[in-house]
């Protein structure tokens, strides 16, 4: 088979799969509530005991306080990503806060917050 035809088939197949996933709703960000954020946190860290959950107004991120300290969970497509807030920095961002993890696997995340939420989250993220 000529390379040009193979290339068209591969690119067309990948594009078709992406369109199909988008049309079936699999590319939508998961919306978190306090209950779903707690459930998703326990899916990532089953040994933690969730004390409190603060969900961002857009529902795409939550600050989770556990018996071992604070953590951040956010939507990543139809799934979630969760990290403990142990070794991190935060910066002001036009959309809210940028949390920079000192971790190769998760370098940073931008959390969409309004001004009221930003100050509240900064207070909750302070080390004890």
The DSSP result for 48-80, as a single string, is: --EEEEEE-TTSSEEEEEETTEEEEEEEETTEE
Q: What pLDDT is stored for residue 127 in this prediction?
A: 67
At 92 the pLDDT is: 87
Helix (H) / strand (E) containing 101: strand 96-101
Q: What is the pLDDT along the chain (128 residues), one digit of tens a residue?
A: 889 999 999 999 999 998 888 888 777 778 899 999 999 999 999 999 999 999 999 999 999 999 988 999 999 877 899 999 888 888 889 998 999 988 888 888 999 998 888 888 888 887 65
So what's the pLDDT on residue 128? 53
User: What pTM was estimated for this model as a whole?
Assistant: 0.77
pLDDT score, position 48 = 93
pLDDT recorded at residue 107: 85
């Amino acid at each position: 088979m000529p390379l040009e035809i193979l290339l068209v088939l591969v690119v067309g197949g990948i594009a078709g799969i992406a369109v199909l996933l988008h049309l079936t709703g699999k590319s939508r960000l998961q919306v978190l509530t306090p209950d779903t954020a707690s459930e998703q946190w326990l899916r990532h860290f089953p040994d933690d005991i969730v004390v409190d959950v603060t969900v961002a107004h857009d529902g795409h991120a939550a600050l989770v306080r556990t018996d071992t300290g604070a953590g951040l969970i956010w939507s990543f497509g139809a799934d979630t990503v969760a990290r403990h807030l142990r070794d991190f920095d935060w910066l002001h961002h036009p959309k809210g806060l940028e949390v920079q993890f000192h971790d190769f696997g998760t370098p940073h995340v931008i959390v969409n917050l309004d001004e009221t939420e930003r100050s509240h989250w900064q207070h909750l993220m302070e080390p004890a």
